[in-house]
Amino acid sequence: MKPNFSFEDLLLVEPLRLALEETGYTTPTPIQQQAIPPLLEGRDLIGCAQTGTGKTAAFALPILNRLAANPRRLEPRRTRVLILTPTRELAIQIFESFKTYGKHLRTKYCVVFGGVGQGPQVKTLSTGVDILVATPGRLLDLIEQRHLNLAGLEVFVLDEADRMLDMGFIQPIRKVIKMLPERRHNLFFSATMPPDILALASTMLVDPVRVEVTPVSSTAERINQTLMNVDKDKKRDLLRHVLKDPAFKRVIVFTRTKHGANKVTEVLDKNGIRSEAIHGNKSQTARQKALENFRAGRTRVLIATDIAARGIDIDEISHVINFELPNVAETYVHRIGRTARAGLSGKAISFCDEEERAYLRDIERLIGKKIPLDTDHPYHIQYNGPVRPAPPEQRGGGGRRGGGGGRHQEGRSGGRPQGGGRSGARSGSRGDSRPSSSASSRPQPSGGGGPKPAANGSGPRPVSGGPRPVSNGPRPVIGGPRRDSGRSSGNR
């Protein structure tokens, strides 16, 4: 494949090419150019890419092409493809992307996450789906309630793996991997690749192709970054001051905590600046409404915590403001990457108080340069003396698992565990536009949807820690011969 090719050069089925043309996509992004060809050949893949690089299409297009080229009758309570992602917002975003690219295909989709009634979601899964997008807690709830069986799964995608670990989902992920069939196609994506992420990848990938676009230590060239020194108790005053500038048209303000996000929103609203907050304690309805208001321009300022913002995919964000510097340097890169998307320019402003100087030092080491200091504001202070160690961070309940009864922590940082019967995921789709609506049943060939999964294969079961025997039979592929995985996916 030539280095710079168009989507027309890819051997995609005609319905996909038509959808891409209607969407206005002509030239693949760098990660799509690197990832799509080996995925069409059936290779396992590990991808490292920042947000906004076109990663979702990089795995969605080959998956949809596979399903279209190899149609299979749906089986009750089963899925051919599983995409596991950390948050509700990101799950919905991926779900919508699949519907956009696959709108001319007869493909049945479902997205599941906690915090909503599970009735529609259970109904959708009862007849089987082609593609399931899920957050870990709700997925395990459904499996334990025997509403879903992962036997027969063909493709497994683990997305935002680094954020999964940040949220404490490592044990649920390992549990899911142990439930997967041995012969499958594996895709692994993470914005950062520290050793623990690579160790997790090694448990599920076989001879993977590695693709990397825009390493985390680099930041988008079109982002104008500045720093403002300010006392901690003057940050709200400084925020009001900078937002007086009408050039701040669509702004995301990042805080480290949910409480901090609420306080900033209250201050801005009292001063006549329309803002809304999204974080793990907000209901799913409130979070989606806030995102829609922000996307439509009804809300000028969105206050967000890092986990809640991971699924935001909105172009034309003029400014990102770090009201509080993140205590993890890589998070800074993810935050400012919300601006300067789709070829546009953007600005990132970071407020830094005395206690955050250690965080700033780590950020500047990571990105390999000093962030220019802006002293042209009424709250500037000059720091003298050595940088003091950063104060210890209070950890939230990000990955805490609930007790018995199949309750699992869902994609939120510090929220309550989602109960098996009171919370669930909604939605399935075969082309409808709302993720809250249930999917209609796909017409089945004579004979129905296949046999129901055996009871001993659809519920939770003990999994041996040792390797499982591997079948030597042929492995279905995307456009080429498959190979056996040759290892136990549940062991490290």
| Residues 25-47: tens digit of each pLDDT | 888 888 999 999 999 999 999 99
Widest CA span in the chain: 78
Cβ of 208: how many Cβ atoms within 10 Å? Answer: 18
Q: What share of the chain is helix, strand, coil (3-state, %, to 5)?
A: 35, 15, 50
pLDDT given at position 100: 92
Residue 312 pLDDT grade (very low, low, confident, very high; cuts 50, 70, 90): confident
Q: How far lies 218's CA from each of 138, 159, 374, in Å? A: 35, 21, 21
pLDDT value of residue 90: 85
pLDDT, tens digit, 9 for 90 and up, residues 249-269: 999 999 998 899 999 999 999
The answer to whether the beta carbons of residues 113 and 138 sit under 8 Å apart is yes
pLDDT tens for 4-15 read 678 888 889 999
Rounded distance, CA 102 to CA 96, Å? 10
Q: What is the token pair recorded at 479?
A: 């456009």
Query: Residue 111 pLDDT more than 60?
Result: yes
Tell me what percent of the residues of the chain surpass a pLDDT of 70: 75
- Residue 304 pLDDT exceeds 60: yes
- Residue 168, Cα to own-chain centre: how many angstroms? 15
- In one-letter notation, the amino acid at residue 100 is T
Topology agreement, domain 7-216+406-458 and domain 230-367: yes
| Residue reference for tokens 């042209």 | 376
Instruction: Write down the pTM of the prediction.
Output: 0.58
**Location of structure tokens 């690089």:** 53
Give the model's pLDDT for residue 403.
31
pLDDT value at 391 more than 50: yes
Distance set, CA 248 to CA 34, 96, 219, 477 (Å): 36, 29, 21, 49
Q: Look at residue 52 and tell me whether its pLDDT is greater than 90.
A: no
For residue range 417-465, what is the model confidence (pLDDT) as tens digits? Answer: 333 333 333 345 443 333 433 333 343 433 333 344 443 343 444 333 4
Report yes or no: 320 and 251 within 8 Å, Cβ to Cβ. Answer: yes
Q: Look over the chain and give the mean of its residue pLDDT values, rounded to a whole number.
A: 79
Query: In terms of Cα–Cα distance, which of 164, 126, 133, 127 is closest to 147?
Result: 126
What is the rounded distance in angstroms from the CA atom of residue 167 to the CA atom of residue 398? 5
Nearest of 251, 229, 253 to residue 346 by alpha carbon: 251
C-alpha dihedral sign at 220, 222, 228, 233: negative
Measured CA to CA, the distance from residue 249 to residue 245 in angstroms comes to 9
Average pLDDT score over residue span 326-352: 85
User: What integer pLDDT is reported at residue 334 of this predicted model?
Assistant: 81
**Mean of the pLDDT values across residues 168-191?**
93
- pLDDT at residue 263, rounded to an integer: 95
- Across 285-293, average pLDDT: 88
Name the pLDDT band for 141 (thresholds 50, 70, 90).
Answer: very high
With bands split at pLDDT 50, 70 and 90, how would you rate the model's confidence at 166? confident
Q: Phi and psi dihedrals of 439, rounded to 5?
A: -75, 145
Residue ranges of the domains in the chain? 7-216+406-458, 230-367
pLDDT exceeds 50 at position 480: no
Look at residues 235, 341, 242 and name the one whose alpha carbon lies nearest to residue 295: 341
- Residue 238: is it exposed, middle or buried by C-beta count within 10 angstroms (0-12/13-18/19+)? buried
pLDDT in tens, 200-243: 999 999 999 999 886 656 666 679 999 999 999 999 999 999 99
Mean pLDDT of 399-410: 37
- Mean per-residue pLDDT for 266-286? 89
CATH code that applies to domain 230-367: 3.40.50.300
**Which secondary structure element, helix H or strand E, spans residue 64, and what is its range?**
helix 55-69
Evaluate whether 340 touches 315 at the Cβ level (below 8 Å).
no
Rounded distance, CA 191 to CA 48, Å?
A: 5
Whether the CA torsion 113, 117, 118, 124 is positive or negative: it is: negative
Answer for the pair 225, 348: CB distance below 8 angstroms, yes or no. Answer: yes
Identify the pLDDT of residue 51: 62
User: Helix (H, G, I), strand (E, B), or coil: what is residue 248?
Assistant: coil
Higher pLDDT, 76 or 2: 76
Instruction: Provide the token pair at 459.
Output: 């519920």
Task: Measure the CA–CA gap between 77 and 259, rounded to whole angstroms.
Answer: 40
* CATH architecture of structural domain 7-216+406-458: 3-Layer(aba) Sandwich (3.40)
Taking the mean position of all CA atoms in its chain, how far away is CA 152? 24
The pLDDT of residue 358 is: 92
Q: Quick one: pLDDT band at residue 63, thresholds 50, 70, 90?
A: very high
* Section 369-389 average pLDDT: 91
Task: Count Cβ atoms below 10 Å from residue 147 Cβ, excluding itself.
Answer: 20
With a cut of 60, say whether residue 402 has pLDDT above it.
no
In 3D space, the residue among 191, 223, 211 whose CA is nearest the CA of residue 306 turns out to be 191
Q: Please name the residue ranges forming H helices in 226-283.
A: 235-242, 258-270
Nearest alpha carbon to residue 155 among 430, 485, 464, 492: 485
